[in-house]
A and B are shown apart, each in its own frame.
Chain A
Amino acid sequence: MRKAEIGATTALALHSLCAAGLATGYWLSHSLYSSSLITDPAPTLRILTVCEAPVVILLFSWLRRDHDRCSFIKAVARGLIGLPIGALINAFGAIVLGAPVGLKFWPATFYWSMLMSLFTFVPAACVFGASKLDWQQILSYSKPSNIVDYMLSVPAHGAIIGAWLGAWPMPLDWERPWQEWPICVAYGAIAGHLIGMLFSPVLIFLHRRHIRTKTE
């Protein structure tokens, strides 16, 4: 099995590819369109999504769980279907938590939730498909037996916690442009995701050592 071969370094490499996708997107928006997240959030988030989506979907389709029954193409398709579903869930969650619903925020909310979907929902959709047991396992976080589980769960939780924390400066009366929805939340999500991606190889490394000492 391929997943047994993945070590901490491979995970780090794969994560760096994802991070590179984000960085490319940011660089593109900066140099080509000279737009940043603060000045025009919606186009920037769009570029970020467009750059990140192929990287994430291809990468995690390669890591798919049921290697024998599921082809690469099918995994990619699952990821593509998962993208809008995850976006819908994320947008709903954001609105429950208090994101503005005015018409002028719709584009930004749309691209933000797409990006969040890429951080949280799409990787798991590529890897697991519709397997309920796997989803439950990854959410409960009780027995992360698997290395791919770490790669999915830690950055996704990082993104969600980062976005949650990123919402806190919004009510402050500093009157900075980045306090608008969804700029600081997007920053928080990206930062949390990056930290999660740094953190997951560490956990994988510890996990493997733990297993090794056990077997010895």
Chain B
Amino acid sequence: MRMRLKAAAAAVLCLHCLGVYLFTRGFLLTRTELSAFSLPSDLLQAQAPCCSDLPSTTDQDLPGWTPPTVERVLILIVDALRFDFVAPSSLFQKKQKWMDRLSSLQHLASTHPSSSRIFKAIADPPTTSLQRLKALTTGGLPTFIDVGNSFAAPAIQEDNWIHQLVHTGRRVVMMGDDTWTQLFPHHFNHSYPYPSFNVKDLHTVDNGVAQHLVPWLHRQDWDVLIGHFLGVDHAGHIFGVDSQPMVQKLEQINAILQNVTDIMNSQKHLENTMLIVMGDHAQTLNGDHGGGTSEEVETCLFAWMPRSLPSSISSIFHPSTCGLGLNGKNICTSTMQQLDFAVSISALLGIPFPFGSIGRVNPELYALSPGSWDRQWLPASFYEDPSSDLKTWKNNYAHVLCINSWQVKRYIDSYSATSVMGFPSDDLHYITKLYNEAQSRWSDSKNSSCKPENGTIDEFSDFLLSFATLARSAWTEFDMKLMGVGLGIFIISIIFHLFVFERVHSLSNVYDNKTQKSSNHLQIYVAFLLVAVRAVSFLSNSYILAEGRVANFLLATTAIGSIRSSLVYGKIKKHDLVFLILIILIRFGIEKGMSKQAATNPFLNYDSGSDFDLKWLPSLFEGHDFVTLLPEISPMIILFLLSFLSCKYITCTVHSRYIKWVVTVGTMLSYLFIATFWLSERSFAPKMVYVIGLSLFVLNFVLRYLGILEKGETVQRLRSLALVMVSAWSPTILILLGKQGPFVVLVCIIAGWSIISSKNKGLLDDCKMDPISVMQWSLLAICLFYQTGHWCTFDGLRYGAAFIGFDEFKVVRQAILLFVDTFGISHILPIFSLPFLVTIPNSSSSKGRDKTVIFLNLTQVYLLYGLITAITTTFTVLCVAIQRRHLMVWGLFAPKYVFDAIGLLLTDVLICVSALYYC
């Protein structure tokens, strides 16, 4: 029998590992961030094939890989800029009221067709600002999980063109959305950040940019100026696109742009400046963005040079869609990938291309810069026909593309060598073949000293576009097959689990000669009904956000049901009422956590004022010292109480004298160290707590296998084993939870006691497994997770806990601490204390019980607990698979999946450990 739990738990663990692995491979797109940076000298050192002839400007010290083709760039980002905000309305079926509002851009596009261009810029999902800014600056495809070195800070660790600019001594000025200063904390010469999180504020950021922009345009001490307007995004979020505030916002932006273009036309020092007006992503008519629908990804990029350019530029522009503008002239638009932006801007400014950029220098954008028409790369004698602008340009562009391809190939090689999950090898072979072909053609044309032809450009483009397609499929597309197989394995594991559970259940009924079958069956149905309600609730994003409250609601329902049955069978016991009051306390904790979450989570509309307005309470006691002292003192008092309680129970329960002594002293010392830490903030104290906890944990297993804890009755033995195990873990978890720790642990203990004493009211047999109690245990665990201020997103991790006892950062150590903090109270403690459910109640009647029956019951409890977790997680997985195109998939569903999958695997592992330890 003992073997059965171990074998079943191990089998379930394996199945779940496989399922999680496969589903994650299909769903969570992972990309490894490479820490390498491009250096100006790379091109020469690596003997890249493109540089066989050095640039004509070699006498100067070239800071980048290509000569700069513009002097300055002015980038104005309008957050959530839809393509139809800029493009002429004649391109669309019906003129809407938000169209043609940016008339200054349309005017430029129609009057200067050879020095300005409107692009439809296609962004890649996820279309959230942070990911887009990362993509725009690094030239990569940020995914949900970018495996990198950053732990909490959002600062960009990858190579990017802002870094390259700063590195080559250019001056960058930023104004607007403060996300930029979070991403680039030390890069800007001047920055004017404005808070971006208040969605209801339409004007602060825009007015701030408008205020600083004009003075800076008259100054000369900058090379790149970035202005980021947020008002359009916020207006969309609040009022939607089809609204008057949106129209007003667009008109305000238009006025600012008109002013900017007027200044650029009049100022001599801005003659060689490229103006780029662009969106980071677009938005739906409701103002939502984040997903991959065409409304969300089709944003706009407008580029304009004040200087006139050769007229042959028109042959470079793609044959494109044109429409009549407001003034009756034709306006033409092209399409580009936002992926190409980073490398294009690097080529324009003449800086090394960012290491991780996988885009292609966009020919049209490149052609808009005057420098690309100058002879840069070859001695003048090379040209038979120096007057041909177009040939010069093509020669320049071929050089740039060659360097571009070399850089992308270098990234592919480097990525394949170091990343967690590389590309499929077949595709890599194909890409390499394309590159080699293009490269050999390039060197052939060099050797035969004829000018690079059109074919070379096409071959390089072909290579770059093929790789971009491959990268997109690896980093932005879900693998439905793998997801389906993973989900199938989850379902198989549940069937297997049910089968084992049913076998053990019928076996225990054989041992159990009393006639309580029907009642127990009813309880199992009720328990599974509760699981089903909880599981189905995951299909809606609202219930996922309110998961803590849902769990609390269900827990309260079971508690009320238990009171009802108490009434039926006799009197209301005091533990029933205590449990109800505890549930209220837990609920306040959960609501406090939710109001904290609402501050950072834009999806959660939680009105914290409505529910928790006990602010009048402190004012009653104002002026008394004890109000300020209370939060300081109360954890200490509760800690003292806890140490007293644990001391008492250890001495009562554990029978072996030496073990009792060791565990008591260890626990007391731990509590003493915790108190020392809170009073004096000494960092040795938490370290001592961790050491004591770990050594007690190891000691348990050693003693268990030496057979020292084997004495006594089965029930007593089990109970003392469980108590020793829980005492080993609780001080560590307590100190990581911080000052709320003692209170939470006390609540946990009392709630556990209430559940145990209220179980099995109708049953005479105390040691029988009660499915409702197991369900309550699991609901309580979920409530405790939320009560301790956690929630299922990555900003819900309590990063502070990772640094208790340590000041410096080491990934593994801090990750372990964070892990224990996150899952300690909700997984580790509840699962290790499950044996109490079959051993505590009324030990007098359970004396002399058959050992086999007790272990059967323990097996049932563990199997049922595992089954409950597995069912809810499977529903999370199902829901994530269904909602994979949902707006909140990256903000809500994916983090929920990650937390649940980790929780499930942890539960399985802990059940295996418990099976080894207890059985």
Please give the residue numbers on chain A whose beta carbons come within 8 Å of chain B beta carbons, in ascending order: 92-93, 95-98, 100-105, 135-136, 139-140, 164, 167, 171-173, 175
* Known A140-B568, A164-B557: A173·B610 in contact at CB below 8 Å: no
Instruction: Pick the residue among A103, A136, A140, A171 that contacts B613 (CB under 8 A).
Output: A103
Write the B566-589 contact mask toward A (1 if CB under 8 angstroms, else 0): 011000000000001001100100
For B613, what are the chain A residues with a Cβ–Cβ distance below 8 Å?
102-104
**CB–CB B580/A139 < 8 A:** no
Closest 7 pairs between A and B when the two form their complex, measured CB to CB:
A171-B546, A140-B568, A172-B542, A100-B611, A97-B556, A102-B613, A96-B556
**CB–CB B605/A173 < 8 A:** yes
A115–B557 CA distance with the chains assembled, in angstroms: 20
Smallest Cβ distance from A48 to chain B, in angstroms?
Answer: 23
* Known A96-B556, A97-B556: A171·B550 in contact at CB below 8 Å: yes
Chain A at the B interface: SS class = helix
Give the tally of cross-chain contacts (CB within 8 A). Answer: 55
For A164, what are the chain B residues with a Cβ–Cβ distance below 8 Å?
557
**CB–CB B610/A100 < 8 A:** yes
B705 within 8 A of A: no
Instruction: Pick the residue among A93, A97, A103, A172 that contacts B540 (CB under 8 A).
Output: A172
A172–B604 CA distance with the chains assembled, in angstroms: 11
Instruction: Pick the residue among B556, B567, B568, B611 that contacts A102 (CB under 8 A).
Output: B611
Smallest Cβ distance from B861 to chain A, in angstroms?
Answer: 26
Chain B at the A interface: SS class = helix
**CB–CB B553/A98 < 8 A:** yes
**CB–CB B559/A96 < 8 A:** yes
**CB–CB B557/A171 < 8 A:** no
**CB–CB A98/B549 < 8 A:** yes
User: Within residues 529 to 562 of chain B, which ones have a CB less than 8 A from any CB in chain A?
Assistant: 540-543, 545-546, 549-550, 552-553, 556-557, 559-560
Task: Output the nearest chain A residue to B606 by Cβ-Cβ distance.
Answer: A171
**CB–CB A171/B564 < 8 A:** no
Smallest Cβ distance from B886 to chain A, in angstroms?
Answer: 13
B684 within 8 A of A: no
Between A and B, 10 residue pairs with Cβ closer than 8 Å are A96-B560, A96-B584, A98-B552, A102-B613, A136-B568, A167-B553, A171-B543, A171-B546, A171-B550, A172-B542
**CB–CB B611/A136 < 8 A:** no
For A139, what are the chain B residues with a Cβ–Cβ distance below 8 Å?
564, 567-568
The winner among A95, A140, A173 for most chain B CB atoms within 10 A is: A173
Smallest Cβ distance from B607 to chain A, in angstroms?
Answer: 9
For A96, what are the chain B residues with a Cβ–Cβ distance below 8 Å?
556, 559-560, 580, 583-584, 587
**CB–CB A95/B584 < 8 A:** yes
A171–B548 CA distance with the chains assembled, in angstroms: 11
**CB–CB B545/A171 < 8 A:** yes
For B583, what are the chain A residues with a Cβ–Cβ distance below 8 Å?
96
**CB–CB A97/B557 < 8 A:** yes
For B567, what are the chain A residues with a Cβ–Cβ distance below 8 Å?
135-136, 139
Smallest Cβ distance from A99 to chain B, in angstroms?
Answer: 9
A97–B554 CA distance with the chains assembled, in angstroms: 8
Task: Output the nearest chain B residue to A140 by Cβ-Cβ distance.
Answer: B568
B649 within 8 A of A: no
Write the B788-808 contact mask toward A (1 if CB under 8 angstroms, else 0): 000000000000000000000
A164–B559 CA distance with the chains assembled, in angstroms: 14
A102–B611 CA distance with the chains assembled, in angstroms: 5
A140–B612 CA distance with the chains assembled, in angstroms: 37
For A97, what are the chain B residues with a Cβ–Cβ distance below 8 Å?
553, 556-557, 560
For B616, what are the chain A residues with a Cβ–Cβ distance below 8 Å?
103
A2–B559 CA distance with the chains assembled, in angstroms: 38
Please give the residue numbers on chain B whose beta carbons come within 8 Å of chain A beta carbons, in ascending order: 540-543, 545-546, 549-550, 552-553, 556-557, 559-560, 564, 567-568, 580, 583-584, 587, 605, 609-613, 616
For A104, what are the chain B residues with a Cβ–Cβ distance below 8 Å?
610, 613
For B609, what are the chain A residues with a Cβ–Cβ distance below 8 Å?
102
A18–B282 CA distance with the chains assembled, in angstroms: 57
Task: Output the nearest chain B residue to A164 by Cβ-Cβ distance.
Answer: B557
A100–B610 CA distance with the chains assembled, in angstroms: 8
For A95, what are the chain B residues with a Cβ–Cβ distance below 8 Å?
584
A77–B549 CA distance with the chains assembled, in angstroms: 39
**CB–CB A171/B560 < 8 A:** no
For A93, what are the chain B residues with a Cβ–Cβ distance below 8 Å?
560
Task: Output the nearest chain A residue to B610 by Cβ-Cβ distance.
Answer: A102
**Beyond known contacts A102-B612, A136-B568: 9 more, CB 8 A cutoff:** A96-B556, A96-B587, A97-B553, A97-B556, A97-B560, A171-B543, A171-B545, A171-B549, A175-B605
For B543, what are the chain A residues with a Cβ–Cβ distance below 8 Å?
171-172
A92–B583 CA distance with the chains assembled, in angstroms: 12
A62–B584 CA distance with the chains assembled, in angstroms: 39
For A135, what are the chain B residues with a Cβ–Cβ distance below 8 Å?
567
Task: Output the nearest chain A residue to B559 by Cβ-Cβ distance.
Answer: A96
For B560, what are the chain A residues with a Cβ–Cβ distance below 8 Å?
93, 96-97
For A136, what are the chain B residues with a Cβ–Cβ distance below 8 Å?
567-568
Task: Output the nearest chain A residue to B583 by Cβ-Cβ distance.
Answer: A96
For B610, what are the chain A residues with a Cβ–Cβ distance below 8 Å?
100, 102, 104-105
For B553, what are the chain A residues with a Cβ–Cβ distance below 8 Å?
97-98, 167
A98–B546 CA distance with the chains assembled, in angstroms: 12
Smallest Cβ distance from A124 to chain B, in angstroms?
Answer: 12
* Known A171-B543, A172-B540: A98·B587 in contact at CB below 8 Å: yes
A172–B584 CA distance with the chains assembled, in angstroms: 22
Smallest Cβ distance from B849 to chain A, in angstroms?
Answer: 30
A100–B568 CA distance with the chains assembled, in angstroms: 30
Task: Output the nearest chain A residue to B552 by Cβ-Cβ distance.
Answer: A98
Smallest Cβ distance from B590 to chain A, in angstroms?
Answer: 9
Task: Output the nearest chain A residue to B590 by Cβ-Cβ distance.
Answer: A98
A96–B550 CA distance with the chains assembled, in angstroms: 12
**CB–CB B541/A173 < 8 A:** yes
A83–B568 CA distance with the chains assembled, in angstroms: 22
A95–B583 CA distance with the chains assembled, in angstroms: 10
A101–B615 CA distance with the chains assembled, in angstroms: 12
Task: Output the nearest chain A residue to B547 by Cβ-Cβ distance.
Answer: A171
A101–B553 CA distance with the chains assembled, in angstroms: 15
For B605, what are the chain A residues with a Cβ–Cβ distance below 8 Å?
173, 175
The winner among B541, B542, B616 for most chain A CB atoms within 10 A is: B542
Task: Output the nearest chain A residue to B605 by Cβ-Cβ distance.
Answer: A173
Task: Output the nearest chain B residue to A93 by Cβ-Cβ distance.
Answer: B560
A117–B597 CA distance with the chains assembled, in angstroms: 36
The winner among B546, B605, B609 for most chain A CB atoms within 10 A is: B546
Task: Output the nearest chain B residue to A94 by Cβ-Cβ distance.
Answer: B556
A164–B564 CA distance with the chains assembled, in angstroms: 15
For B541, what are the chain A residues with a Cβ–Cβ distance below 8 Å?
173
For A92, what are the chain B residues with a Cβ–Cβ distance below 8 Å?
580
* Known A93-B560, A95-B584, A173-B605: A101·B550 in contact at CB below 8 Å: no
A167–B583 CA distance with the chains assembled, in angstroms: 17
Instruction: Pick the residue among B542, B559, B587, B611 that contacts A171 (CB under 8 A).
Output: B542
For A171, what are the chain B residues with a Cβ–Cβ distance below 8 Å?
542-543, 545-546, 549-550
